[in-house]
């Protein structure tokens, strides 16, 4: 019995699951404290969450090479470590945005912060496994927490957004579960490595069943990454969410989704399913092209940024089309460069929140007219927002430009010249709608001249986060080489 217990504990390997467990423990502690003492401030909860995130960073950085543990369900490799660090970085930038001048309902309750930490734990499980069951558990843990976080904004549109996201997310979860069942039916396993080995020896009937399973799982991944045609929920959900959470959704869930996609499609490619790269090629082109076209006609800045994030996801998907080490490094590097600019842009929308004091538009909260003539009212705000728009457009020397250049170099080196040209053409289209906001801010006359309406939500915490985003956006190129070296080390260690 003692030998059996020792064997089980060694298979469990608590150290490998420590980052997720620590996040869950911190979340449970917040819930307990919130029950005992109900009048704790937002500052306490925010600082506590940041401490939890930095403890998690320390546990993640304790890297000792490839590790398969937790009864062979948990895979700790370089890919999982880099993705966890990006998730934690974006989370650390997000949580201080709760410290706005005005107290909003969701930021005053302990459950909000506990759900936020549970969501991070779910993402960490997603990126640290080759086992489809554990990936599904991580996906649902993070998704259920995210649905609730959206609804806690306590506005009619927020509840509507949460219901839409929940409905589409439930359909996606059903697709994923059905796909896993099909793969298990044919291969007798839910581990991606074993499934890949089985697929090579399948007969025709087994191949057709496996193909159905792969299509369902690919559809679920497409929903998580908001790839066309699974993107329809994005603009409405982003519009109904508060601006910081919308920015967070445009970055972190997609990081987790891309890692699952990387592992899944890599398995299919090495198993001889040559149609995978063709499918990814078509979806990538359709996603970036149609999203950019739809962004051109948006009247609301937040909805424009929503379609922009879809287009960027399409660009990053091109790295999976190539599928080599250089492209995988480019995937992570692009997303790190994207984090600062996109989260900063959504943070500026949060800074400009006016709580219906002025109705610029009956339909939208952030119409372009709201920002008209902003250079005359708040010059610093206009300049900072312009920096984020120029960066997202991929104009040098700002952060996204370097991510895009490195990704293009990986495509060209692998012979994907046409795909590279399509990305550059889409970048030219995107410049139009990003510059549209700059034109409104710098060349239009202001509709409202009271600058206090634009700064009513500003606090020192918001200024610090926006400042970090600006510095990261402008000076990211100075750290490009170390970041690439760091990513390269971990991706190579993972064997991708």
pLDDT mean across residues, the chain: 81
Instruction: Using alpha carbons, select from 64, 62, 114 the residue that is nearest to residue 85.
Output: 62
Phi and psi angles of residue 68, each rounded to the nearest 5 degrees, phi first:
-115, 115
255's tokens: 């990081």
Question: Between 431 and 492, where is the model more confident?
Answer: 431
Residue 191 DSSP SS3:
strand
Instruction: Check if the beta carbon of residue 138 is closer than 8 Å to that of residue 115.
Output: no
pLDDT at 350: 77
Q: Stretch 313-321: mean pLDDT, rounded?
A: 89
Rounded Cα–Cα distance for residues 312 and 231 (Å)? 13
pLDDT at 3: 46
- pLDDT surpasses 60 at 390: yes
pLDDT at 237: 85
Residue 75 DSSP SS3:
strand
The maximal CA–CA distance of the chain, rounded, in angstroms, is 79
123's tokens: 């993402």
- pLDDT surpasses 70 at 9: no
For 235-265, b/e burial (b = at least 16 CB within 10 A) is bbbbbbbbbbbbbbbbbbbbbbbbbbbbbbb
pLDDT at 68: 65
Q: Stretch 108-121: mean pLDDT, rounded?
A: 87
Res. 290 pLDDT band, cuts 50 70 90 = very high
Res. 203 pLDDT band, cuts 50 70 90 = low
Instruction: Check if the beta carbon of residue 232 is closer than 8 Å to that of residue 60.
Output: no
Q: How far is CA 252 from the centre of its chain?
A: 3
Q: Stretch 14-22: mean pLDDT, rounded?
A: 78
pLDDT at 76: 78
Rounded Cα–Cα distance for residues 44 and 30 (Å)? 10
Instruction: Using alpha carbons, select from 482, 129, 149 the residue that is nearest to residue 333.
Output: 482
Mapping DSSP onto H, E and C, the string for 228-252 reads CCCCCCHHHHHHHCCHHHHHHHCCH
What separation in angstroms does the CA of 431 have from each of 54, 295, 296, 395, 425? 36, 11, 10, 9, 10
- pLDDT surpasses 60 at 205: no
Q: For residue 441, what is the enclosing H or E element?
A: helix 417-443
pLDDT at 5: 46
Which residues are paired to 75 by β-bridges?
68
Instruction: Using alpha carbons, select from 124, 111, 91, 117 the residue that is nearest to residue 154.
Output: 111
Rounded Cα–Cα distance for residues 139 and 296 (Å)? 32
- pLDDT surpasses 80 at 492: no
Highest mean pLDDT among 94-103, 199-208, 417-426: 417-426
The percent of residues in the chain predicted with pLDDT above 70, rounded, is: 87
**Whole-prediction pTM value?**
0.87
C-alpha radius of gyration, the chain, whole number: 22
342-372 per-position pLDDT tens digit: 888 888 887 766 655 555 556 677 777 878 8
401-430 per-position pLDDT tens digit: 888 888 888 888 888 899 889 989 998 898
Q: Stretch 180-186: mean pLDDT, rounded?
A: 85
Res. 1 pLDDT band, cuts 50 70 90 = very low
124-178 per-position pLDDT tens digit: 888 888 888 888 888 888 888 888 888 887 677 778 888 888 888 888 888 999 8
For 5, residues 6+ apart whose C-beta sits below 8 A from its C-beta are none
Rounded Cα–Cα distance for residues 125 and 344 (Å)? 27
Residue 458 DSSP SS3:
coil
48-72 per-position pLDDT tens digit: 889 989 988 888 887 665 666 666 6
* Block residue for tokens 């960073």: 57
For 337-365, b/e burial (b = at least 16 CB within 10 A) is bbbbbbbbbbbbbbbbbbeeeeebeeebb
Q: What is the DSSP letter of 373?
A: T
Domain boundaries, the chain: 15-272, 277-495
Question: Residue 229: is the preceding peptide bond cis (ω within 30°)?
Answer: yes
Question: Residue 49: is the preceding peptide bond cis (ω within 30°)?
Answer: no
Rounded Cα–Cα distance for residues 495 and 482 (Å)? 20
Q: For residue 7, what is the enclosing H or E element?
A: helix 2-12
- pLDDT surpasses 50 at 4: no
Q: For residue 210, what is the enclosing H or E element?
A: helix 204-224
**Could you count the other beta carbons within 10 Å of the beta carbon of residue 62?**
11
Q: Stretch 77-104: mean pLDDT, rounded?
A: 81
């Amino acid at each position: 019995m003692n030998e059996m217990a020792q064997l089980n504990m060694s298979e469990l390997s608590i150290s490998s699951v420590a980052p997720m467990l620590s996040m869950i423990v911190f979340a449970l502690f917040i819930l307990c404290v919130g029950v005992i003492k109900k009048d704790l401030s937002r500052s306490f909860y925010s600082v506590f969450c940041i401490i939890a995130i930095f403890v998690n960073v320390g546990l993640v950085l304790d890297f000792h090479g490839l590790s398969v543990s937790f009864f062979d369900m948990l895979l700790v490799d370089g890919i999982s470590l880099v993705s966890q660090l990006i998730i934690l970085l974006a989370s650390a930038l997000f949580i201080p945005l709760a410290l706005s001048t005005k107290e909003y309902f969701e930021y005053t309750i302990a459950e909000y912060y506990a759900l936020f930490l549970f969501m991070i734990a779910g993402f960490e499980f997603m990126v640290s496994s080759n086992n489809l069951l554990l990936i599904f558990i991580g996906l649902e843990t993070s998704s259920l927490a995210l649905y609730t976080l959206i609804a806690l904004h306590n506005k009619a549109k927020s509840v509507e957004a949460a219901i839409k996201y929940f409905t589409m997310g439930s359909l996606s979860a059903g697709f994923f579960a059905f796909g896993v069942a099909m793969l298990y039916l044919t291969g007798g396993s839910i581990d991606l490595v074993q499934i890949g080995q089985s697929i090579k020896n399948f007969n025709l009937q087994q191949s057709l069943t496996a193909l159905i399973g792969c299509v369902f799982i690919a559809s679920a991944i497409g929903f998580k990454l908001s790839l066309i045609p699974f993107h329809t929920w994005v603009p409405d959900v982003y519009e109904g969410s508060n601006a910081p959470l919308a920015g967070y959704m445009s970055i972190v869930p997609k990081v987790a989704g891309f890692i699952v996609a990387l592992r899944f499609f890599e398995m299919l490619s090495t198993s001889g399913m040559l149609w995978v790269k063709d499918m990814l090629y078509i979806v990538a082109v359709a996603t970036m092209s149609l999203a950019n076209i739809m962004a051109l006609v948006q009247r609301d800045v937040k909805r424009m940024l929503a379609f922009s994030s879809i287009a960027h996801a399409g660009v990053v998907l091109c790295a999976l089309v190539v599928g080599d080490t250089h492209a995988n490094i480019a995937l992570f590097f692009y997303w790190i460069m994207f984090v600062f600019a996109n989260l900063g842009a959504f943070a500026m929308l949060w800074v400009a929140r006016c709580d219906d004091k002025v109705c610029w538009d009956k339909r939208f909260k952030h119409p372009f007219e709201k920002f008209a003539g902003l250079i005359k009212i708040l010059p610093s705000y206009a300049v900072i927002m312009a920096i984020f728009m120029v960066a997202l457009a991929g104009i040098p020397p700002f952060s996204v430009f370097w991510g895009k250049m490195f990704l293009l170099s990986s495509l060209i080196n692998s012979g994907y010249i046409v795909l590279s040209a399509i990305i550059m053409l889409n970048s030219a289209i995107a410049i139009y709608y990003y510059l549209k906001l700059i034109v409104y801010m710098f060349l239009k006359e202001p509709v409202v001249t009271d600058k206090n309406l634009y700064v009513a939500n500003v606090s020192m915490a918001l200024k610090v986060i926006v400042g970090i985003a600006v510095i990261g956006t402008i000076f990211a190129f100075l750290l490009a080489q170390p970041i690439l070296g760091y990513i390269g080390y971990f991706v190579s260690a993972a064997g991708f």
